[in-house]
Amino acid sequence: MGDRDWRLFLYGGVASCTAEFGTFPIDTTKTRLQVQGQKIDQKYAQLKYSGMTDAFVKITKYEGYRALYAGIWPAVLRQATYGTIKFGTYYSLKGMVEKGNEDVAVNICCAVVAGMVSSAIANPTDVLKVRMQVLGDHGERNLFGCFVDVYKNEGVRGLWRGVGPTSQRAAVIAAVELPVYDFCKHALLSTFGDKITNHFVSSFIASLGSAVASTPIDVIRTRLMNQRNLLTSKSPGHIYSGSVDCFVQTVRNEGVMALYKGFVPTWLRMGPWNIIFFITYEQLKNLY
C-alpha cells in the first residue's frame, strides 16, 4: 500500500457525492416506477405512472420539485460511505494484485469484493433513501426522523432490510461497470489518450452493461426495502419472505418484464452518474 492509497478512497467518495446530486431526480422516478403495480398495492391505488417522463411530470405537478429530491441526504450519506469504500477498495486491491498490469479476471474479483462489502455497510442509508423517495412530500422530510421511524417500528433489522439483494446488485454492478470501464479506457488510450473524451465514452459504455445486468435485482431490492409502507391491518406481517419469494411473486403477478420496471431511468441515471463520477474521479487523481 503506497502513500497515495488513502486518496483513492477520498476521490471515490467526493466523486460519488458529486454524481449523486446531479442525477438524483432520475433515481426518484426509477424508485417510484419499481414499487408500483404490486398485487398488494392494487387494492388501494391504481398504477400512477405510465413511464419515466410521466412520473417526473406528476411528481413535480402534485408534490413539487422538492419531492424529486426526497431522500437526497441519505443518498449522499450512502455515497459518502458506499462510494468511498467501493472505489477505494477496488483500486487499492487492483494496485496490490496487478502491479500495473490490466487483468480482466482480477478486475472482476476485486470489483465483486468491493461492491458487496461497501453495499452491506451502507445498507441503512439505502433503506432510508428508498422510504423517503417513495413517500415523497407525504413522508418524513428529515433524515433523522425517518431513521427513528424505521428503528422504532422495525428495529435494527429494519435498517438492513434487503441487504441480500443490495449486496448482490452491488456485486453485479461493480463486476460489470468497473472492469468494463477500465477495459474500455485502456483500449481507447491509443485513440483518445487519457483524456476526458476517453473517460466519457468508457463510462457511458460501462453504464449500459451495468443497467442491463442489475435492474432485475434492483427491483427486488427496492420492493423489499419498501414493503412496510404497503402493510395494513388486512395484510399484517411481511408481503415478501425474502428475495426469492419477491422474485416469484413479481413474475407470477406482473410478468417477467416487471423485473425491468424502471430500466430507462436506471440507464439514463447510470449513464450521467458514471460520466460525472469517472470524469470527477480522474480529474481529482490527475490533480495530485
Residue 269 has pLDDT above 80, yes or no: yes
Band (pLDDT 50/70/90 cuts) for residue 268 is confident
Cα 108–169–35 angle (5° rounding)?
160
For residue 6, CA distances in Å to 1, 9, 11, 236 come to 9, 6, 9, 47
CB 71 within 8 A of CB 129: yes
Band (pLDDT 50/70/90 cuts) for residue 192 is very high
Instruction: Look up the domain containing 128 and give its range.
Output: 5-287
* CATH number for position 28: 1.50.40.10
What's the average model confidence in pLDDT over 203-228?
A: 88
What is the overall mean pLDDT for the chain?
85
pTM of the model: 0.71
Q: How many domains does the chain have?
A: 1
Amino acid at 109: C
CB 174 within 8 A of CB 249: no
For residues 53 and 280, what is the distance between their CA atoms, to the nearest angstrom? 28
Band (pLDDT 50/70/90 cuts) for residue 233 is very low
Which pLDDT does position 91 carry in this prediction? 85
Which pLDDT does position 117 carry in this prediction? 93
What does DSSP assign to residue 136?
Answer: G
Band (pLDDT 50/70/90 cuts) for residue 222 is confident
Q: Encode pLDDT of 51-81 as tens digits.
A: 889 999 999 999 898 899 988 999 899 889 9
